[in-house]
Amino acid sequence: MEYFSREIGRLIGELSALPGIGNKSAQRLAFHILNLPKEDVKRLSDALVEARENVCYCRECQTLTDSELCPICSDEKRDHRTIMVVEDSRDMAAYEKTGEYRGVYHVLHGAISPMQGIGPDDIRLTELIQRLQHDVDEVIIATNSSLEGETTAMYISKLIKPTGIKTTRIASGVPVGGDLEYIDEVTLTRALLGRIEL
Ligand code: ZN
C-alpha cells in the first residue's frame, strides 16, 4: 500500500537512489525539503543543476572542476614533475588539507576491481600515461590500501616501469593518537613521507 502521494513518493525515490541514503533517510530529507521555504528549495535545486552543468574534468589531472584546468594544475608554484595518483577528488582534497604536498595530482575516478567488473579501461589510466610523455620525475601511487587500491597500484607500477620514471607507493597509514580532527592529516602526511620506491 502507498503511504505517500505520488509527488512525495517520487521525491523519496530520487533521494533514496543517492549513495548512503536509505529509505528512512530519504523520507527524513524529503519532509525536511517539503517544509523549507520555496526559495530555499529553488536554491538547492539550482545548485544541483548548475553544478552538474558547469562541472567538468580538468584537462590535466581529471579532477572535477569548473574550468578547463583546475586551480592546482594552473598553479605555477606547484611541482608539475611530481604526480600523485589518487582514486577520487576527495582523496585529493584530503592530501591538500595536510598542506605537505606541493606536487600535482592525477585522479583515476575509481580503482580496478575484477569483482565489480571494473577494468583498467574504466578508470582514467590512458590520461595518466599520456601525461608521462612530458617531464615527470616521480609518480606517487596513493590509491587506497583496499584490495582494489592495491591491485590498481600494482597495475600502474607495471605500466610505468618501462618508462624508467621513479614510481613510489605511499606507506599504509597507521593512525596515531591525538585530536581526532587531525588524525587523518597526520596519518596522510606520514604515509606520504614514508613512501617506498616500487
Ligand atoms: Zn587539474
Length of the chain in residues, anyone?
198
State residue 1's pLDDT score.
47
Asked if 25 contacts 32 with a C-beta cutoff of 8 angstroms, the reply is no
State residue 182's pLDDT score.
55
Interatomic CA distance for residues 148 and 184, integer angstroms: 21
Q: Is residue 20 in some structural domain?
A: yes
> Ligand 1 centre and the CA of 58: distance in Å?
5
State residue 173's pLDDT score.
53
State residue 96's pLDDT score.
92
Asked if 106 contacts 131 with a C-beta cutoff of 8 angstroms, the reply is yes
Interatomic CA distance for residues 106 and 62, integer angstroms: 6
> Ligand 1 centre and the CA of 41: distance in Å?
32
Interatomic CA distance for residues 8 and 134, integer angstroms: 53
Instruction: Indicate if 118 and 160 belong to the same structural domain.
Output: yes
Using CA atoms, how far residue 88 sits from 38, 106, 143, in Å, is 34, 9, 9
CATH of the domain at 46: 1.10.8.420
Closest CA to 78 of 55, 104, 53: 104
Instruction: Indicate if 50 and 89 belong to the same structural domain.
Output: no
Q: What does the DSSP assignment read for 72-135?
A: TTT-TTSEEEEEEEESSHHHHHHHHHHT---EEEEE-SS--BGGGTB-GGGTTHHHHHHHTTS-
Instruction: Indicate if 45 and 82 belong to the same structural domain.
Output: no
Q: Is residue 60 in some structural domain?
A: no
Each residue's pLDDT tens digit, 13-25: 999 999 889 999 9
Low-confidence ranges of the chain (pLDDT < 50): 1, 174, 176-178, 180
CATH of the domain at 190: 3.40.1360.10
> Ligand 1 centre and the CA of 150: distance in Å?
24
Closest CA to 84 of 146, 154, 167: 167
Instruction: Indicate if 100 and 148 belong to the same structural domain.
Output: yes
Q: Is residue 59 in some structural domain?
A: no
Q: Is residue 30 in some structural domain?
A: yes
Instruction: Indicate if 122 and 29 belong to the same structural domain.
Output: no
Instruction: Indicate if 101 and 172 belong to the same structural domain.
Output: yes
Q: Is residue 130 in some structural domain?
A: yes
Instruction: Indicate if 43 and 81 belong to the same structural domain.
Output: no
> Ligand 1 centre and the CA of 21: distance in Å?
30
Q: Is residue 63 in some structural domain?
A: no
> Ligand 1 centre and the CA of 33: distance in Å?
34
Instruction: Indicate if 135 and 41 belong to the same structural domain.
Output: no
Asked if 28 contacts 18 with a C-beta cutoff of 8 angstroms, the reply is no
Instruction: Indicate if 79 and 50 belong to the same structural domain.
Output: no
Interatomic CA distance for residues 159 and 130, integer angstroms: 12
Instruction: Indicate if 25 and 111 belong to the same structural domain.
Output: no
Q: Is residue 123 in some structural domain?
A: yes
State residue 190's pLDDT score.
78
Using CA atoms, how far residue 43 sits from 33, 65, 192, in Å, is 11, 20, 40
State residue 138's pLDDT score.
96
Instruction: Indicate if 81 and 146 belong to the same structural domain.
Output: yes
Domain that holds residue 119: 75-197
Q: Is residue 162 in some structural domain?
A: yes
State residue 2's pLDDT score.
63
State residue 90's pLDDT score.
87
Q: Which residues surround ligand 1, an ion (CB under 5 A)?
A: 58, 60-61, 70, 73
State residue 174's pLDDT score.
46
Instruction: Indicate if 88 and 171 belong to the same structural domain.
Output: yes
Query: How many structural domains comprise the chain?
Result: 2
39: phi then psi, degrees, rounded to nearest 5: -70, -30
> Ligand 1 centre and the CA of 193: distance in Å?
23
